[in-house]
Structure 1
């Protein structure tokens, strides 16, 4: 296009390429390594000032005032979205539940800790229908308190205040959740490309719930947990009960917590299906511009709460849906139930020969009484023998039920916040709970230099010291703030026996470090990390530099009694690209497993690159293998990994067993061996760009400093007292 084109009124910008065609790198080259998962929390999307710290800002919040405002909101019904019985409690509880309920134990992802329900796909999941209205109702509160109150905190607070406003004595509430500012679009929610696709697609055998694909917890794409109509929409309370058990276990709940949450969640509020679901508008992400982010618009709402359509199931579970009581059990166990259909055509259960006084009043018209209902999951509480026994225990002791539910609700809404040291606010409970992975405070009064001297004299190799510290710290998950070096749980079951931790080598290193910790009054956790630092400093000196590795004492040592060993099983690494190890062959590649581990640890692609390069030349590979150790001076923190990788004097030859030989182009002589994880830093264009930076002659010292910074980030990731 030239000047004549512009003068003639033709637009000088080429249109269409980015809108009508799929033209992302992954669309053109789907087998390329996609690094997007490492950019989920890119600071470029954050609108807050660089020095803004929500953890500090929220401490200045008027906690009592915001709680009062949220409670007042519950009964301030709006014409544009009328409240059931004039009370938004059920809606706010569902918002909080569905925000927190996406959490899954396997990888710690999901949950309400980051306000992710504000974004796609969660904001448009079928199971989250009309929760967009709940968030808009909360907007005046968010607007008023601004930066001191995150959406993540407000959403979960709303559910807790809803329960309090209806009579429940809650277990407490903690603030401190920091919002994200764009969707975690690379979180794996399932392989389906259709909402509510039959759950068979994510099970090896749908009749065996334990065969559900990991790390998934919900039974179908677009659901938070189970299908309320039954397995694949087919009513069968016993089969549904089995799915409930597996799903809630994957959300970190046991049978008693599951029964309490089901009963307590359905003690208040109602389901909505009094109309034609097909008449609803598109979900928020698919809605037209004029809807301004609202979805599922109902042309037949007519300002009446009774006319709402959400799940398609219709009705309340109890006689008094705005009151915390034992009404759920009264109806479920007080009547026989039969299958029926809602006005929207959904399968649900209704009581046989119910007394009129046991029927709830209409959500809009208090002069009318309407039929209550139960879902298939509710019927499972009565039919499944384990759940029934638990419910009968609750019925016999209402105070016990109240306490069980309050604790389970607190766990549901706080599970992904990590240890209680992250809690903010006057209502944070002081009772220490085992699922919080408690760690006692450690000593800070010992002589760090004296400990380092004893470590250096203990006869351990650089590789042994660095690998042990790494193995202790690499369990950290930024997704739910579990794992990490604090607590030294690497010396306890189950971690001491994990294949990835090389139990024999670990036992040897611990045998050398534990007496040093006892001698100086330091925690074993501190000494493990300090030994890693000693190893890194020795490697730095061997490379010709003098750079100190920062260290802050104060870690504590957890005990077996403080450790829920079963819940730690999910933290076991099945692969560790940093130590060039894969437990077995998996459907995904080792380099993809490396990205997943990197994202969970909260590291960037650059930090991953510098750590891999340093770990290789220090000889920290699992089992002492030589793959990727591209140096003749093992144990020195040099840039040799990157120099070799980018040197065109070599060629890379696949050996047919998943490994490669690095051969001299002229002589054909084999120089080194490598794995896919090693070579991806030369083959992927983004990672190669980083590798080339560190391969430059003028960046040897930069590499050392960058490695130390990334190493320290890993070692202190769980030190919330340092933030």
Structure 2
């Protein structure tokens, strides 16, 4: 821009009108890009050192001793936090459940795989009341086993052991969750500014749960799933059933799994609402130093045992709350129910004409009988015809119910761990499950150089090769370790038909690469990646550098039978800034969507910048558009994207359609065109700093070498077997 092109702004000199200081850059400039999401889990925050390897530490773990200590904990260590009925099975089932239950399928974020329940905001969600007490009860065990067990694994294992102690034959357990060391504060949990704000804020139409805004799954800020009192706290089991179905689907659960989890989750333990929530101290993040990281203490009365306040709903679901049995079904379907209020004022349901033998004992005095209860979510299982039919099937076959719940619990607590190759430990189930995205082992004994030679002679263009490899790999998301090039699912439904994969171009390229795989004994997945490597090597050579892109064979080829096509729908890219593509206009800016994609792929801001510049120079834009291709040497891995972006002999002029023209300042001639995603690398101060590194006269070779490293990182992101 020249001076006349710059929009009018406020006077840069302060005249006393601004009285409130911003605390962060985004406070001052709300529309500025927030790069914190790319800086999550910086290695500098890890206290165990760069040489620490959790998988190796796990090899030293005495698993049976750990499990035995957890079994003892279920009834021991009750001096400062007494357990209901002398058992912590309900407590630890809830700790594990609420750690895992934040997972959502849409972007793979949340879940129990990182130990994030230790940090805000999750440690202070209203729905997580008193999980802080459970983690403190686990501390002596964590202290004892130290680096050999992560908090993430320990919390999930505690819930699995709780169910085992309660009498359930569990499906299995896998270690391998590695802890994070600071909050994932840039995960989007909703736009609300208050806990439990009405769920209408999350829906276009609250009566149609499918209109909940993505990527959210829980119905209100601070909840794991749905409001147990009903939609917005108003009891109506049919409306609650609709919300349950949508929310659990966004958790990757079908109706049968949902019904099993509801029944099995409420078979043990109780809800706590025998008191006034107004008497509770602040949540952990708001509590004073004397609370030592815990919150929600009752400031009046004992606040434990029968006087505990958690959800506000009061009572147990079954007559034997420490046993995993069919009691929930007996109670729900054996009685008619009516609305009532808990002592804390919460809406709940009570049975009509309850028999004394069906009443649960008091948590402190077993000679006292108490009134059982059901939440609106429980009642939904009875009134909804689909859920009711499933429950009747469980009632007719208790062993089928127990197996279904055990499998659903395993899925709930392992869904975000990624493929089975990441599982560690003696209790890993032998069975392959489709939600684990199984991939067979791939061949490794073929001649890699011979395959590359055949690819180079196959007549494919550089962009054909690079784009196909990139599109295959870009689906990877480190949030739940799904997607990626391994498995070559780009050739299967639904990926082969995704708009962003240019189906016609993809089919043409695969028709060339698949025969090469068959001839050489390589997997199609390896050949796709090798084709991309060949393209990168050609681009580097065109820039004057002979490089060999590192490659590790062994990717396998998945089949349709190994692929849950419906589950993979959520991995479809809606935008890919690296290929300058946007499916349609969104509320979120294209550059923000670029950051989100980069973070899911595990890239840093510097790696994102390097890859972007290289992809533009190789001409890999979607459908061959020229936006951002700031070079006269397309196909050469040169740093022209950066040198021309930072060249002040050009002006940058917005035109219709949301694009920009790059004009010579003297002649006014249009040299190139660009999108917002291109220009943000010059306009944003952080990204410009990275771009200037590669624009320097002495960093052309560094750019090539860095690009190769970043490319390999993207191609190998899902190689958990190496």
Q: For the superposition of Structure 1 and Structure 2, which TM-score range results when normalised by the shorter chain?
A: over 0.9
Per-residue CA distance 1:469-503 (angstroms, 9 max, x = gap): 00000000100000000000000000000000000
* CA distance in 2 between partners of 1:626 and 1:436 (Å): 39
Contact 1:217 1:250 in 2 (8 A): yes
Contact 2:263 2:328 in 1 (8 A): yes
Map 1:308-323 → 2, pairs under 5 A: 308-323=308-323
Match in the other structure for 2:234: 234
* CA distance in 1 between partners of 2:583 and 2:532 (Å): 24
Per-residue CA distance 1:361-417 (angstroms, 9 max, x = gap): 001111201001000000001100000000000000000000000000000000000
* CA distance in 1 between partners of 2:153 and 2:442 (Å): 30
* CA distance in 2 between partners of 1:501 and 1:652 (Å): 30
Contact 1:273 1:342 in 2 (8 A): yes
Contact 2:77 2:137 in 1 (8 A): no
Per-residue deviation, 1:21: 4.6
- Give the root-mean-square deviation of aligned CA atoms: 0.8
Contact 2:315 2:373 in 1 (8 A): yes
Contact 1:77 1:83 in 2 (8 A): no
Structure 1 residues 575 and 433: CA distance shift in structure 2, 3 A: same
Structure 1 residues 303 and 367: CA distance shift in structure 2, 3 A: farther
Match in the other structure for 1:224: 224
Match in the other structure for 1:374: 374
Per-residue CA distance 1:112-145 (angstroms, 9 max, x = gap): 0000110000000000001100000000010011
Map 1:522-601 → 2, pairs under 5 A: 522-601=522-601
Per-residue CA distance 1:303-347 (angstroms, 9 max, x = gap): 741111000000000000001110000000001111000010000
> Which secondary structure does the structure 1 equivalent of 2:673 belong to?
strand
Contact 1:300 1:307 in 2 (8 A): no
Per-residue CA distance 1:265-309 (angstroms, 9 max, x = gap): 000000000111110000000001111111001124527411110
Contact 1:77 1:88 in 2 (8 A): no
Contact 1:112 1:152 in 2 (8 A): yes
Match in the other structure for 2:272: 272
Match in the other structure for 1:360: 360
Structure 1 residues 581 and 304: CA distance shift in structure 2, 3 A: closer
Contact 1:639 1:700 in 2 (8 A): yes
Map 1:466-545 → 2, pairs under 5 A: 466-545=466-545
Per-residue CA distance 1:526-546 (angstroms, 9 max, x = gap): 000000000000000000011
Match in the other structure for 1:251: 251
Match in the other structure for 2:677: 677
- Residue 287, structure 1, aligned to residue 287, structure 2: yes
> Which secondary structure does the structure 1 equivalent of 2:698 belong to?
helix
> Which secondary structure does the structure 2 equivalent of 1:697 belong to?
coil
* CA distance in 2 between partners of 1:712 and 1:167 (Å): 48
* CA distance in 1 between partners of 2:22 and 2:292 (Å): 26
Match in the other structure for 1:148: 148
> Which secondary structure does the structure 2 equivalent of 1:60 belong to?
coil
Contact 1:611 1:707 in 2 (8 A): yes
* CA distance in 1 between partners of 2:641 and 2:364 (Å): 70
May I ask how many residue pairs the two structures share in their alignment?
Answer: 703
* CA distance in 2 between partners of 1:712 and 1:59 (Å): 29
- Residue 56, structure 1, aligned to residue 87, structure 2: no
- Residue 403, structure 1, aligned to residue 406, structure 2: no
Per-residue deviation, 1:77: 4.2
Match in the other structure for 1:192: 192
Gaps of 5+ in 2: 1-19
Per-residue deviation, 1:451: 0.2
Per-residue CA distance 1:593-629 (angstroms, 9 max, x = gap): 0001111111100000000000000000000000000
* CA distance in 2 between partners of 1:676 and 1:290 (Å): 50
- Residue 708, structure 1, aligned to residue 712, structure 2: no
> Which secondary structure does the structure 1 equivalent of 2:609 belong to?
helix
Match in the other structure for 2:66: 66
> Which secondary structure does the structure 2 equivalent of 1:109 belong to?
coil
> Which secondary structure does the structure 2 equivalent of 1:698 belong to?
coil
Higher mean C-alpha displacement, 55-64 vs 579-588: 55-64
Match in the other structure for 1:22: 22
Higher mean C-alpha displacement, 496-505 vs 57-66: 57-66
> Where do 4+ consecutive residues of structure 1 move more than 2 Å?
20-23, 299-304
> Which secondary structure does the structure 2 equivalent of 1:673 belong to?
strand
Contact 1:274 1:309 in 2 (8 A): yes
Contact 2:303 2:309 in 1 (8 A): no
What TM-score results when the alignment is normalised by the length of structure 1?
A: 0.97
Match in the other structure for 1:305: 305
Match in the other structure for 2:9: none
* CA distance in 1 between partners of 2:446 and 2:304 (Å): 68
Structure 1 residues 299 and 23: CA distance shift in structure 2, 3 A: closer
Structure 1 residues 304 and 683: CA distance shift in structure 2, 3 A: closer
- Residue 686, structure 1, aligned to residue 686, structure 2: yes
Contact 1:272 1:313 in 2 (8 A): yes
Higher mean C-alpha displacement, 31-40 vs 679-688: 31-40
Match in the other structure for 2:641: 641
Contact 1:273 1:308 in 2 (8 A): yes
* CA distance in 2 between partners of 1:140 and 1:544 (Å): 60
* CA distance in 2 between partners of 1:572 and 1:55 (Å): 31
Contact 1:219 1:227 in 2 (8 A): yes
* CA distance in 2 between partners of 1:444 and 1:324 (Å): 47
* CA distance in 2 between partners of 1:182 and 1:366 (Å): 43
Per-residue CA distance 1:624-663 (angstroms, 9 max, x = gap): 0000001111000000000000101111011131111111
Match in the other structure for 2:17: none
Per-residue deviation, 1:189: 0.3
Contact 1:81 1:303 in 2 (8 A): no
* CA distance in 1 between partners of 2:704 and 2:141 (Å): 48
Per-residue deviation, 1:83: 0.3
Contact 1:446 1:520 in 2 (8 A): yes
Contact 2:92 2:158 in 1 (8 A): yes
Gaps of 5+ in 1: 1-19
Contact 1:113 1:417 in 2 (8 A): yes
Per-residue deviation, 1:59: 2.3
Contact 1:80 1:303 in 2 (8 A): no
- Residue 84, structure 1, aligned to residue 84, structure 2: yes
* CA distance in 2 between partners of 1:159 and 1:22 (Å): 43
Match in the other structure for 1:15: none
Contact 1:301 1:308 in 2 (8 A): no
Match in the other structure for 1:103: 103
- Residue 657, structure 1, aligned to residue 651, structure 2: no
* CA distance in 1 between partners of 2:434 and 2:55 (Å): 24
Match in the other structure for 2:13: none
> Which secondary structure does the structure 1 equivalent of 2:672 belong to?
strand
Structure 1 residues 115 and 301: CA distance shift in structure 2, 3 A: farther
- Residue 449, structure 1, aligned to residue 478, structure 2: no
Per-residue CA distance 1:693-722 (angstroms, 9 max, x = gap): 000111111111111111000100010011
